[in-house]
Amino acid sequence: MLVGVPKEIKVQEFRVGLVPAAVRELVHHGHEVWVETGAGLGIGASDADYQAAGATIAPAADTVWARAQLIVKVKEPQAVERQRLRADQILFTYLHLAPDLAQTQDLMASGATCIAYETVTSPTGGLPLLAPMSEVAGRLSVLAGAQALQRHAGGSGVLLGGVPGVAPAQVVILGGGVVGMHAAAMALGLGAQVTVIDRNLEVLRRLWTQFGHGLRTAYATRDAIEQHAAQADLLIGGVLVPGAAAPKLITRQTVSQMRAGSVIVDVAIDQGGCAETSHPTTHDAPTFVVDGVVHYCVANMPGAVPRTSAFALGHATLPFVLALADHGLQALRDDPHLRQGLNVHRGRLTHPGVAQALDRAYLDPLAALNL
């Protein structure tokens, strides 16, 4: 199969779909890989590095999109990229379709097979292709929040860890999953006072066991969220419903009751955000203020550390890329976990969460593949 890797064009996105080592594996399996010139520069990988791994360097994105049977990316295809998709292509990347009707309509119109990293599952029930970026985003959320809390950035001027004689910051994390666990580890390591809120008691028990009495936990109710948000210096939203829009747990009224200069980092913004006041931002202009509360809502947070992120993501995606290259659509029929990643096929929506979020008809992915 001819596998194509275009350069990412989303604002301030420096990751790349395949690192040179992954290209070498594909070539070893007998596949041809075309990489757009300069695609790996953001992670320190030159065209020469890709050529040494066996790739052909394409002079422009049009060449990659025109030739490839399988397109491997990082971020959702931008409008100009969606117009290049063909019905005989497989697209493998993050999609986050639930809050993005325009992208969904374009992908359906293309007739292409579109597989989303974020809904591929594992035998243990996890999300193996979302997890590495959730790990990165969870850790970055604390660093971004600490920066936004500084006075020159619009924050209240609170240092996360405090100093002797001055209390540390209050960090509240919504969701105890991968984002929440890594955010808690980072915030505790910096000396903050941390509370994780989740509706799953087993998750709270696991975190309490892992981090000990230094971590506070709370069961997720409206009262708990409102009360803890009102006291938070930094509120991190890390909730996730696979494939679906993020639940709006932080209402506009809750934001209005938060302290002036406090910060919300909405890691769930890729799926629409968990705060009613959130909207996507970029690394160029990462924050905005609502009711005196600083909001950090960058939709590609891991893009700030592209080398770490690209290698972490590449390690997770490579087995699935190889399966798709080796077997094509049959890989989706054979592997129920990869099949969970199928969001769009031949103009049909094939993920229930996406279909429900966009109020569109849903077709079972196996039925769609066998049409």
Told to judge if 327 belongs to the known catalytic residues of this protein, a careful annotator would answer no
Total Cβ atoms within 10 A of residue 223:
9
Catalytic residue among 31, 96, 295, 351: 96
Asked if 60 and 294 count as a contact pair (C-beta separation under 8 A), the reply is: no
Could you tell me the end-to-end alpha-carbon distance of the chain, in angstroms, rounded to an integer? 23
265 contacts 144 by C-beta, under 8 angstroms: yes
CB-CB neighbours of 250 under 10 Å: 26
Q: Which residues, 6 or more positions from 164, have their beta carbon under 8 angstroms from its beta carbon?
A: none
Cβ neighbours, 10 Å, residue 51: 14
Residue 173 CA from chain centroid, whole number: 17
Whole-number Å distance between alpha carbons of 11 and 37:
18
Question: To which residue do tokens 């629409």 refer?
Answer: 272
| Active site (annotated) includes residue 270 | yes
Do 301 and 272 form a contact (C-beta atoms < 8 A)?
no
Region of 346 on the Ramachandran plot (φ > 0 left; ψ -120 to 50 alpha; else beta): left
Q: Which listed residue (100, 233, 266, 270) is catalytic?
A: 270
Question: Which residues are known to be catalytic?
Answer: 96, 270
